[in-house]
Structure 1
Amino acid sequence: MKKETLTALYDAHRTEFLDALRAVMQIKSVRGPSRPDAPFGSGPRAALDAVAKLGTAYGFQTKVIHGAMTAIQWGDDDQHYIGIVGHLDVVPAGKVAWHFPPYDLTEQNGRLYGRGILDNKGPSVACLFGMKLLKDAGYRPKRTICLILGSDEESGSADVPRYLASQAPPDFGFTPDCKFPVVYGERGIVNYQLTTPITDGSLDNIGEILGDQASDHVPDQLEVSVNGQAVRATGKRVPSNAPELGINAITRLAATLLSKLAVRGQFADYCRWLVTKLADQHDGAGLGMAFTDAASGKLIVTPYQWQKTDQTLTLRLAMRYPVTYHEADVTQALTAAILPGTDIKAIRSLPSVLHDRRDPRLQDLAQAYEQITGQPGQLVTTTGATYARTMPNIVAFGPSFPGQKGIAHNVDEWMDENDLKLNMLIDMAAMMKLGGMTD
């Protein structure tokens, strides 16, 4: 189907699509307390039910699998199928005020705002609506297409094992939760916890380090009391896989403490180590691990949590290392760089993922991208972590276009409507190729 025809389908049903998307985005699908029918909380489960209702209304076979993922199936073969795997859970809105309601869909000057519009409710619902438009236009896939929407991608993807416990994995497919053109490789990820004892009493007058600190983002507002006086540091929040776009409040706070001469002894030595080794050195050079390769570029290191408890300091680091390196390489270099007496522990470990660049199905995706955008559909790698690591035979494909980075997980998360429209058109073209549909 030509781009012009696909565009006309979108334009004719734009209001219906945005209404459906708004209903899903109004659900606060942040992970919460588990219950038997909602293992990841009532919000994520409500989002699964909402898209299941849409899938049924659109005429597809629909079911919620073990309270974890919704499967919306187009075709009768549930053993051999093309999978499209998105997610409906979102990270919290954060403590910084938004200019738009975070759990809603707001349109302004051609731009759409709301938590999940990019990551990943917007692209996921676009895939569902694209399936509907193709079906309503009279198309039928020769190979079953199943849209699988999860509820725990942001917290570890524990929804995927629940799905695979009773369902066959896809033969091939994609997740619209990364970037274009086609992602054939994802870097290895390892998060470390560094625990350093402070034995000279230099933490006695230091309070708790306060602020919004989590592994998904660079912290932007931190505060600690020194002798009863508040010392603050302000940075710029960005996703943790793009630290170079932000300002890390952890290293800012350490530098501020040193500049104010507010610290002494081992704690001062610790702050100097933190600033020297990590401040604005996102490629790991300060830690002696400036690893790089041609396929995926430089290593990325992000300090994301700094805590003080009694006479101990704990720092957490997220590392994304190039696809030709191994976790052992990173651990060895980090062990040589830490302060004496520091305990090092890996608390998250995801090996690299690489797919065969020669797979003709990757070329099908590249051609779908080229058909709609007119741009080269080259294969790329990513610093992110997607369902491609946990769902077999899946690669990342969209939604961000080249040059777009650091939008997800931020205040006022946004996506231009034209980009979301292009996503739908690309996904429809991909479904036609992978599903064996012809004009």
Structure 2
Amino acid sequence: MYDQALKQNKDSMIQSLQELIKIKSVREPAKGDMPFGEGIQKSLEYILALGEKMGFKTKNIDNYAGYIEFGEGKEMIGVLCHLDVVPEGDNWTFNPYGGEISEGKLYGRGTLDNKGPAIASLYAMKTLKDSGFIPKKRIRLILGTNEESGSACIKHYLSKEEKPSVAFSPDADFPVIHGEMGIIVFDLERTFEDADPDGGIEILSLKGGNAPNMVPDYAEAKLLETKPIKEIVEAYNATRNAHIDYTKEGEYTILKSHGISAHGSTPEKGVNAISQLVGLLDLIDIQIGDQSNFIRFLANHIGMDTDGKNMGVGLDDAYNALVLNLGMIDLDQNSGKVTINIRYPITLKELKIKLGIDNTVRGTYIEMKNWKCAPPLFFPPSHPLVETLMNVYREKTGDIDSKPITIGGGTYARSMPNAVAFGALFPGAVDTMHQKDEYIVIDDLYKMTDIFTLAIKKLSE
């Protein structure tokens, strides 16, 4: 009943996504009444204005979040999206905020995570409205603004607005996500008090990473080279398939580690530039002391591994195995701090992970700080919401063999009752979320809009 309306909206949908991508919505310090910075504010204002232009009711909730609503009724169907993006990182082929199209793909930070699905959801609502559909329940597209850095936006929304009766978040994968792993973010910190001037190489600084939930694609160390290491760097690159550049800046040696970014929930898909550099430093004769002990701890207990085994948390269950990402490091001659992101299996308890790490760091003078945990989310595959969305997916794709899945990623579904993630990455598609040259296949954008249109229709009938 809505096919013609869907076709008519295709060109304007692409244009809207391009315009939204051109707004750099990375979190910045608060500015006036903009809690997450000017770029995020502009993204929120843009999409709310777009929704209003389409004839929908809109509301800005104190610049923390907003919504676009269609229809009347006591019950409400929620679609949960976010407008903020992780930092772009380095080495893009395309402008990360250009919205460029090449060979059927639209490039830019946020095209998959999560601006593309947000635009698809909005145009799904417009498609239903244009086709004359009258929902029996309100349909509300809820738009958060700091999902990538704490989700204070949704907490604020929930303090001011009602919860949906049922909801989905197109911020993961198809077909349907019936379970999300627990997410832990924490720091390991140590103050460096003792150093032995034994003639070893001095590490003046070591920095890398943009966000805990990104595999860092760049890290840099500044050294005072008391003995030559250039040949060691070359051998390390050759034997470990590493990419570390050796350069001199006056008396200082600069080591630049190049990795491959990936989402923190799938660190095995990337190459961790911090871990790569720490592994090299572990092999050279660095000055003995608290600093070198901290670096060697990271090399021995994390290294290039992503399964957490050497940190004492190599755990799994029937659904998933734990994954660990060393996301950020900030180290100088006085102190060192790393930020770690863990995704833990659905059936396990947070305390088990905390005890495992505590046992590993005990006696090292390394402290665990800033511990934050989002518990797992789980619905049985037989849950009515899961079954409804699975039926929509099967009807639209013809894929009758796929089953609901669990993931390491975390979505807004955790924050609402009766909510699951639904899309937007199709099985077999290349996942470029949190990576350089993030893109969405334009045909997939059309396809997901069609799926969301039917899903919203079914849930609101």
TM-score using structure 1 length: 0.92
Which shifted more, 304-313 or 17-26? 304-313
> Partner of 1:293: helix, strand, or coil?
coil
2:78 aligned partner, one-letter code: G
Q: What does residue 236 of structure 1 align with? A: 260
For the 8 Å contact 1:157–1:390, the answer to whether it is kept is no
* Structure 1, unpaired ranges of 5+: none
- Once residues 107 and 137 of structure 2 are traced to their aligned partners in structure 1, the CA distance between those partners, rounded to angstroms, is 35
2:221 aligned partner, one-letter code: V
Q: What does residue 257 of structure 1 align with? A: 281
- Once residues 161 and 419 of structure 1 are traced to their aligned partners in structure 2, the CA distance between those partners, rounded to angstroms, is 31
1:241 aligned partner, one-letter code: S
**1:215 CA drift (Å):** 0.9
Q: What does residue 308 of structure 1 align with? A: 331
Q: What does residue 409 of structure 2 align with? A: 384
Q: What does residue 220 of structure 1 align with? A: 217
**1:30 CA drift (Å):** 2.0
Q: What does residue 319 of structure 1 align with? A: 342
Equivalence map 1:247-396=2 (5 Å): 247-295=271-319, 297-338=320-361, 340-375=364-399, 376-396=401-421
For the 8 Å contact 1:202–1:265, the answer to whether it is kept is yes
- Once residues 267 and 65 of structure 1 are traced to their aligned partners in structure 2, the CA distance between those partners, rounded to angstroms, is 46
Superimposed CA distance per residue, residues 390-427 of structure 1 (whole angstroms, 9 cap, x where no aligned partner):
23332111111224464112111111111111110110
Q: What does residue 82 of structure 1 align with? A: 77
Runs of 4+ off more than 6 Å: none
> Partner of 1:431: helix, strand, or coil?
helix
Distance 1:285 1:111, change over 3 A: same
- Once residues 102 and 179 of structure 1 are traced to their aligned partners in structure 2, the CA distance between those partners, rounded to angstroms, is 22
Q: What does residue 59 of structure 1 align with? A: 55
- Once residues 7 and 211 of structure 2 are traced to their aligned partners in structure 1, the CA distance between those partners, rounded to angstroms, is 39
Q: What does residue 27 of structure 1 align with? A: 23
- Out of 205, 210, 221, the position equivalent to 2:202 is 205
2:282 aligned partner, one-letter code: L
For the 8 Å contact 2:179–2:407, the answer to whether it is kept is yes
- Out of 112, 115, 140, the position equivalent to 2:109 is 115
RMSD of aligned residue pairs (Cα, Å): 2.1
- Once residues 153 and 259 of structure 1 are traced to their aligned partners in structure 2, the CA distance between those partners, rounded to angstroms, is 38
1:205 aligned partner, one-letter code: E
For the 8 Å contact 2:307–2:324, the answer to whether it is kept is yes
* Structure 2, unpaired ranges of 5+: 225-251
**1:199 CA drift (Å):** 4.1
Superimposed CA distance per residue, residues 99-149 of structure 1 (whole angstroms, 9 cap, x where no aligned partner):
222113111111110111101111101111111111111111112111111
For the 8 Å contact 2:21–2:115, the answer to whether it is kept is yes
- Once residues 155 and 335 of structure 1 are traced to their aligned partners in structure 2, the CA distance between those partners, rounded to angstroms, is 25
For the 8 Å contact 1:183–1:380, the answer to whether it is kept is yes
2:168 matched to 1:174?
yes
> Partner of 2:372: helix, strand, or coil?
strand
- Once residues 10 and 413 of structure 2 are traced to their aligned partners in structure 1, the CA distance between those partners, rounded to angstroms, is 30
- Once residues 273 and 260 of structure 1 are traced to their aligned partners in structure 2, the CA distance between those partners, rounded to angstroms, is 14
- Once residues 203 and 181 of structure 2 are traced to their aligned partners in structure 1, the CA distance between those partners, rounded to angstroms, is 38
For the 8 Å contact 1:29–1:90, the answer to whether it is kept is yes
- Once residues 39 and 358 of structure 2 are traced to their aligned partners in structure 1, the CA distance between those partners, rounded to angstroms, is 41
- Out of 34, 37, 43, the position equivalent to 2:39 is 43
2:81 aligned partner, one-letter code: G
For the 8 Å contact 1:182–1:377, the answer to whether it is kept is no
Superimposed CA distance per residue, residues 32-58 of structure 1 (whole angstroms, 9 cap, x where no aligned partner):
232454222222222222112211221
- Once residues 312 and 26 of structure 1 are traced to their aligned partners in structure 2, the CA distance between those partners, rounded to angstroms, is 38
**1:271 CA drift (Å):** 3.3
- Once residues 331 and 202 of structure 1 are traced to their aligned partners in structure 2, the CA distance between those partners, rounded to angstroms, is 33
Superimposed CA distance per residue, residues 345-380 of structure 1 (whole angstroms, 9 cap, x where no aligned partner):
243211112234332122111111111111145221
- Once residues 405 and 383 of structure 1 are traced to their aligned partners in structure 2, the CA distance between those partners, rounded to angstroms, is 17
> Partner of 2:202: helix, strand, or coil?
coil
For the 8 Å contact 1:288–1:334, the answer to whether it is kept is yes
Q: What does residue 457 of structure 2 align with? A: 432
1:58 aligned partner, one-letter code: M
> Partner of 1:209: helix, strand, or coil?
strand
**1:260 CA drift (Å):** 3.5
Distance 1:340 1:103, change over 3 A: same
Which shifted more, 28-37 or 382-391? 28-37
> Partner of 2:221: helix, strand, or coil?
strand
**1:303 CA drift (Å):** 1.0
**1:176 CA drift (Å):** 0.7
TM-score using structure 2 length: 0.87
Superimposed CA distance per residue, residues 222-280 of structure 1 (whole angstroms, 9 cap, x where no aligned partner):
12122132233222221211110111122211221233434445544443332232123
Which shifted more, 241-250 or 192-201? 192-201
Fraction of identical pairs, as percent: 34
Q: What does residue 86 of structure 2 align with? A: 91
Distance 1:284 1:403, change over 3 A: farther
- Once residues 171 and 310 of structure 2 are traced to their aligned partners in structure 1, the CA distance between those partners, rounded to angstroms, is 31
Superimposed CA distance per residue, residues 192-233 of structure 1 (whole angstroms, 9 cap, x where no aligned partner):
211234443159932121334421211122121221322332
For the 8 Å contact 1:102–1:412, the answer to whether it is kept is yes
- Once residues 36 and 272 of structure 1 are traced to their aligned partners in structure 2, the CA distance between those partners, rounded to angstroms, is 44
